[in-house]
Structure 1
Amino acid sequence: MKRFIWENCYLLGVHSLDKAHQEIFTVANRIYNLLSSGACHHWTAKQGILYLNAYVLKHFDDEENYMLSINYPDYENHKAIHDEFRFIQLKSLEDDLISNDYNIYSIKNFVEVIDHWIRYIMKDDKNIDNYFRATQIPNCFEVKNHSGPMMSRYGSGASWF
């Protein structure tokens, strides 16, 4: 298995989404490192995976709200990718982990699927950034997240609040 490597090319320019993407990499790496070290403790792996699942689902909601706020034309397709992961792949992974009592093989399978998903979705997420850059005000944009706080859009390394 490969380690999850964050690259700046994954940045979308939306601080809250970028931080969430980085956090997903961090948690996935912690789980990976547990496996690699041979010190994979059942409870620790289980808690890490539960946290990652919850975090990813919250992130999907935030990202979908952002796509709606910029009238992203491929929203339905991108949401369908999220929904497949949310309702089919994640459910299958959870069932496998539970039925196998979070054994090392089910955890490795979980990490491999997350690895595949991260690589795929990060490339697809870049299309959101490309759309924004092509159609919106390039350096200053705020969107109210439905849960309350403002997501700030920034470019060229500067941010406006």
Structure 2
Amino acid sequence: MEVLPVWNEKYSIENTDIDLQHQTLFDLAEKTASLLNRHIYKIEVKELLGNFFDYMKTHFKDEEEYMYSINYPYLSEHKAMHKKIIKDMSALLSECNSTNDLKEKLNKIVSIWLVEHIAEHDMMINKYKKSLDKEELELTKEQEKDNKFEYICGCKDMIHKLDYGLHVKIKYLNIAYKCKKCSKELNFNSLEEK
């Protein structure tokens, strides 16, 4: 099992309530990880998962309200990611037949949620919030030019540079986009992934 990151200020979105919720989620993930390293009963995993699931729903609601309050431009994409996480967790609760299966799937969801969602997507909220400060606006516009995600298609030596919103739709929400030239579906250029 991979080691989960621990909370530190680099994950802050500079909103006290949301940061405290993120810290609690990191703690719940750590408890989950410690359970996965020993023999446990399915009921224990389901109880922890239920607590994690309930807290995530509350957190998502609060985070979405915060994004709405600052007019976050990727609110609908972010909400869709939240729905997908909830859907995956719901399926996990109802579909697992064995403790090992439940532990494996739980680890995957917790790892993806913490590493990708908080560390990558929630950080975009803070980046946007900072861009609202007029002194940082020009710097942010310059960073936005560099914040493109590379996708490939069937065309030889063609790289499609997509903005964050399209990247989220393709990679995380499974919405297909095709190249206008070759009509092949765009695929994330994983060689560029950091």
Question: TM over 0.5: same fold?
Answer: yes
Question: Could you tell me how far 1:45 is from its partner in structure 2?
Answer: 2.2
Instruction: Give 2:124's aligned residue.
Output: 127
Instruction: Give 2:30's aligned residue.
Output: 29
Shift in CA distance, 68/137, structure 1 to aligned 2, threshold 3 Å: farther
- The 5 Å alignment of 1:64-143 reads 64-86=64-86, 88-97=87-96, 100=97, 103-122=99-118, 123-136=120-133
The CA deviation string for residues 16-42 of structure 1, in whole angstroms up to 9 with x for no partner, is 111111111111111111221x24243
Instruction: Give 1:8's aligned residue.
Output: 9
Tell me which of the two structures has the higher relative contact order, counting C-alpha pairs closer than 8 angstroms and 6 or more residues apart. Answer: 1
- The 5 Å alignment of 1:44-55 reads 44-55=44-55
The AA in structure 2 aligned to 1:22 is Q
RMSD between aligned alpha carbons? 1.9
TM-score by length of 1: 0.75
The share of aligned pairs that are identical, in percent, is: 25
Runs of 4+ in 1 over 3 A off after TM superposition: none
Structure 2 gaps of 5+ residues are 136-194
Which whole-Å CA distance do the structure 1 matches of 2:42 and 2:52 have between them? 15
Q: Is the 8 A contact 1:3 1:29 kept in 2?
A: no
The CA deviation string for residues 29-86 of structure 1, in whole angstroms up to 9 with x for no partner, is 11111221x2424333222111000001110000000000011111111111111112
Question: Could you tell me how far 1:8 is from its partner in structure 2?
Answer: 2.3
Shift in CA distance, 91/46, structure 1 to aligned 2, threshold 3 Å: closer
Which whole-Å CA distance do the structure 2 matches of 1:53 and 1:61 have between them? 13
Structure 1 gaps of 5+ residues are 139-161
Q: Which has the larger Rg?
A: 2
Question: Could you tell me how far 1:113 is from its partner in structure 2?
Answer: 1.8
TM-score by length of 2: 0.63
* Aligned pairs, number: 133
